[in-house]
């Protein structure tokens, strides 16, 4: 889709005065609405009960290693980019009970967790985030073994996307082919104007939801304004990542001196992996009552930056920050393609912003590309 009038046909306009009905309708349909809200000096994802919970009039400024919320000069409701949270916090929650064991009559009995999965409506999903959900769909749902926790939440979730109208200095979604415009993967997609939203329908569920709301056909001027707003996001994106031959570039340079240089700055703190919307690593912890007869198996987010992550038989496979950073970057940008036929990176820039040292993966690739032999035609 490219925003021509043909694709715009059938788009509706929802006035901001009518927006509370969307939230009410979602609640009535049994959804917990999760969306952006101002908390802890950031725009995070949390339960949204009214439009007053939205970060109206706030924006974010992002640089490598720095994030600040600022007052906007206008009253935009979705006038920010992406924050420290991502939707994986809801689809791939931490901690979560995956199984239980109980000793009954002397024997151990085992049960998979069968707790009823919550039904979420995600409000304010960005294009890069839709791409991230798609990447995790590939990881958790598309192989022979399916993650039941993710599956239960994902199949019930409704996605109300909101197009970006601005970009952070850390954004590079066009390089990854994931944004900034939401083109698919949503039930509804909104573009915010000063007085309302231009609404695009992505699924039958989205259409049914929209039908319950008091919307009107979007006018030409509203469609034009929406286009212009979306264009301004594209125009603000400065950062880029050259993905040509990237897989081979990294896998052919596993002993590049750059890894040592980066290791001197990397804290191995795991922030990049925790904020990354596609990172999916986890560890299971045994939680038993004192008698030891009842055990819960709790899965938590884990990270390849955790030294114990590769622990085996009294030793660590990746026993240095260099080897752990190399594991993360080569996985994200290279071996992920081997595993899942897609990059693990969606260009959201979170790992750049939330790295305390401000390590920028696009710069890392550039450095390795800089004096690496060019492998043309290997992409």
Partner 1 sequence: MRDASRSAAAAGLRPWRTHTVRVREILAEVEGVATYDLAFRDESAGAAYRFAPGQFNMLYLPGAGECAISISEDRATSAGYRHTVRVAGNVTKTLTGLRPGDTLGLRGPFGTSWPITDCIGRDVVLVAGGIGLAPLRPAIGSLMRNARQFGRRHLLYGARSPESLLYWRQYEEWSQAGIRVHTTVDRADSRWTGHVGVATLLLERLDAIDARNAVLMCCGPEVMMRFTIAAALNRGFAPDRIWVSLERNMQCGVGLCGHCQMGGEFVCRDGPVFRYDRVAPFLDVEAF
Partner 2 sequence: MKPKLAVFKFASCDGCQLSLLDAEDHLLAVAGALDIAFFPEATSRMRAGPYDVALVEGSITTAHDAERIRAVRRDAKCLITIGACATAGGIQSLKNWADHTDFIRAVYATPEYIATLATSTPIADHVHVDFELRGCPINQYQLIEVIQSLLAGRRPRTPSHSVCIDCKRRGTVCVLVARGEPCLGPVTQAGCGAICPAYDRGCYACFGPAAQANLAGLTARLASDGMRPGRIAQSLRTFNGYAPAFREESDRLADGRDRVDEVRR
Please give the DSSP secondary-structure letter assigned to residue 310.
Answer: G
Collapsing DSSP to helix, strand or coil, 35 comes out as: strand
Residues forming a β-bridge with 120: 32
Q: Which is nearer to partner 2, 88 or 239 (CB)?
A: 88
Residue 261 interacting with partner 1 (CB under 8 A): no
- For 261-344, strand residue ranges (E) read 282-288, 294-301, 311-312, 315-316
Render the burial of 327-344: b for 16+ CB within 10 Å, e for the rest: bbbbbbbbebbeebebbb
Question: Is the preceding omega at residue 183 within 30 degrees of 0, hence cis?
Answer: no
CB 60 → partner 2: shortest distance, Å? 9
Residue 317 interacting with partner 1 (CB under 8 A): yes
CB 198 → partner 1: shortest distance, Å? 21
Torsion of CA 248, 250, 251, 254, to 10 degrees: 150
The listed partner (partner 2, partner 1, none) that binds 356, CB under 5 to 8 Å by sort, is partner 2
In terms of Cα–Cα distance, which of 140, 139, 151 is closest to 336?
Answer: 139
The listed partner (partner 1, partner 2, none) that binds 3, CB under 5 to 8 Å by sort, is none
Among 326, 348, 354, 361, binds partner 1 (CB under 8 A): 326
Residue 251 interacting with partner 2 (CB under 8 A): no
Phi first, then psi: give them for residue 77, nearest 5 degrees: -85, -30
CB 168 → partner 1: shortest distance, Å? 25
Compute the radius of gyration of the chain from its Cα atoms: 22
x/- string (CB under 8 A) for partner 2, residues 317-336? ---xx---------------
Q: Which is nearer to partner 1, 258 or 326 (CB)?
A: 326
Residue 209 interacting with partner 1 (CB under 8 A): no
Q: Residue count at the site for partner 1 (CB under 8 A)?
A: 74
Among 2, 4, 6, 40, binds partner 2 (CB under 8 A): 40
Name 158's Cβ contacts closer than 8 Å, sequence gap at least 6.
26, 31, 120, 121, 122, 187, 205, 206, 209
Residue 42 interacting with partner 2 (CB under 8 A): yes
In terms of Cα–Cα distance, which of 125, 159, 201, 166 is closest to 26?
Answer: 159
The listed partner (partner 2, partner 1, none) that binds 4, CB under 5 to 8 Å by sort, is none
Site for partner 1 in 130-159 (CB under 8 A): 130, 133-134, 137, 139-148, 151, 154-155, 157, 159
Site for partner 2 in 340-369 (CB under 8 A): 353-358
CB 272 → partner 1: shortest distance, Å? 14
């Amino acid at each position: 889709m490219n925003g021509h009038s043909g694709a715009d046909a059938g788009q509706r306009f929802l006035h901001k005065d009518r927006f509370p009905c969307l939230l009410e309708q979602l609640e009535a349909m049994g959804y917990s609405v999760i969306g952006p809200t101002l908390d802890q000096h950031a725009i995070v994802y949390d339960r949204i009960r009214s439009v007053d919970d939205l970060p109206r009039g706030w924006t974010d400024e992002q640089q490598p290693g720095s994030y600040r919320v600022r007052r906007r000069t206008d009253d935009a409701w979705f006038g920010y980019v992406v924050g420290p949270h991502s939707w994986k916090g809801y689809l791939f929650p931490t901690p979560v009970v995956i199984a239980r064991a109980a000793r009954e009559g002397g024997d151990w009995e085992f049960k998979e967790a069968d707790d009823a999965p919550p039904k979420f409506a995600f409000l304010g999903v960005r294009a890069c985030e839709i791409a991230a959900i798609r990447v995790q769909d590939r990881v958790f749902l598309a192989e022979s073994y399916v993650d039941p926790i993710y599956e239960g939440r994902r199949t019930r979730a409704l996605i109300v996307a909101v197009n970006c109208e601005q970009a952070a200095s850390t954004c590079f979604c066009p390089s990854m082919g994931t944004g900034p415009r939401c083109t698919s993967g949503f039930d509804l997609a909104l573009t915010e104007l000063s007085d309302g939203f231009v609404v695009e329908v992505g699924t039958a569920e989205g259409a049914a939801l929209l039908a319950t709301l008091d919307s009107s056909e979007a006018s030409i001027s509203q469609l034009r304004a929406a286009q212009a707003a979306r264009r301004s996001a594209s125009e603000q994106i400065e950062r880029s990542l050259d993905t040509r031959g990237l897989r081979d570039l990294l896998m052919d340079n596993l002993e590049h001196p750059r890894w040592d240089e980066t290791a001197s700055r990397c804290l191995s703190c795991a922030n990049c992996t925790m904020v990354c919307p596609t990172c999916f690593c986890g560890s299971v912890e045994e939680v038993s009552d004192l008698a030891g007869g009842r055990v819960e198996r709790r899965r938590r987010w884990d990270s390849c930056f955790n030294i114990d992550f590769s622990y085996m038989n009294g030793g660590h496979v990746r026993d240095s920050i260099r080897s752990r950073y190399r594991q993360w970057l080569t996985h994200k940008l290279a071996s992920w393609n081997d595993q899942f036929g897609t990059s693990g990176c969606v260009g959201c820039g979170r790992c750049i912003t939330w790295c305390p040292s401000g390590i920028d993966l696009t710069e890392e690739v550039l450095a390795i590309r800089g004096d690496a032999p060019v492998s043309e035609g290997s992409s």
